[in-house]
Amino acid sequence: MHLYLLGYPLGHSLSPAIHNAAFREAGLDWRYELLPVPPEALPQAVERVRAADCLGGNVTIPHKEAIIPLLDALTPAAQAIGAVNTLFKRDGLLWGDNTDAEGFWLDVERVFGDLPAGEALLLGAGGAARAVAYALARRGWRVTVAARRLEQAEALCRSLVVSRQSSVISRQGSVVSGQPSVVSGQWSANSGQRSTVNGHPSPFALHPSPFPNPQSLVPNPQSLILIVNCTPVGMHPHTEASPWPAEIPFPAGARVYDLVYNPAETRLMQQARAAGLPAANGLGMLRAQAALAFRRWTADGGG
């Protein structure tokens, strides 16, 4: 039986080594393979996953959001996040799940310990950022999204409804609560001010390009606990690149988590450690989300 990783490009991926080792350990005659899929070929790739000799697989950049209309059903996590990283089959249906969110949080706890909910800054607003924002906001964190494309950050915050107690900012400046009702809110994209829901601050704020100084990101920069790079900037072969401009200082006391894991020490991690901050790459998250995906594939005999 086959499982595939759908993405483009895929030269950096360690997923086949991780999953094939797990299959051998479990005595399963399964094979996990890379399936490079340019955007225009995604529908055909999904049909390949639907074949009887395929159990499912994973989805990575740039398909985590684009694949959703091509699937039969979504788990609650994938639906709430608006991004899919795991494919599995149940009762003849092709499902999309998201194990990135839980995998991220499990590794953050492993690396940095039991962090109190506080201020977090996300760099990027793609599918990985959606999962990270979901993991943080549902645990009571206040999340600031800094993205190159403001409309993408707006879409993330508008669509990510994480619970009845949390809220997301809509493109029109309204705030959509976890309940169906819509209440008015105040929000300025340029200032990064947070909106309000019934007098309470939203967990999300947005910042447009160019990348701003951390002093403008949160009311008290020294309260920033976690900085997460959710972009591919710095990934092999572009190892000298960093999403954090060299001239901008890091807030003291922050932790830096880079979802990039190849190279093992990214330029962003080097910058953070030079500033005296703890830093980690995303390999632990990859392993944690892979273990969660493995459970999906093996539940009920894998199909």
Which residues are identified as catalytic? Answer: 64
**In 3D, which of 206, 246, 256, 194 has the Cα closest to residue 226?**
256
Rounded CA separation 167/183 (Å):
10
Rounded CA separation 73/94 (Å):
7
φ/ψ (deg, to 5) at 302? 85, 20
Question: What is the layout of strands, in order, in the sheet containing 54-59?
Answer: 31-36, 2-7, 54-59, 86-90, 93-97, 73-74
Q: How many CA atoms lie within 13 A of 292 on its CB side?
A: 22
H helix runs in the chain, sequence order: 15-26, 42-50, 76-81, 100-112, 127-137, 150-159, 267-274, 283-298
Residue 45 contacts residue 92 (beta carbons within 8 Å): no
Rounded CA separation 35/4 (Å):
6
Do the bridges between strand 279-280 and strand 255-258 make them parallel or antiparallel, or are there none, so unpaired? Answer: parallel
Q: What is the DSSP letter of 75?
A: -
The 3-class SS string of 105-152 reads HHHHHHHHCCCCCCEEEEECCCHHHHHHHHHHHCCCCEEEEECCCHHH
**In 3D, which of 225, 224, 242 has the Cα closest to residue 233?**
242
3-class state of residue 33 by DSSP: strand
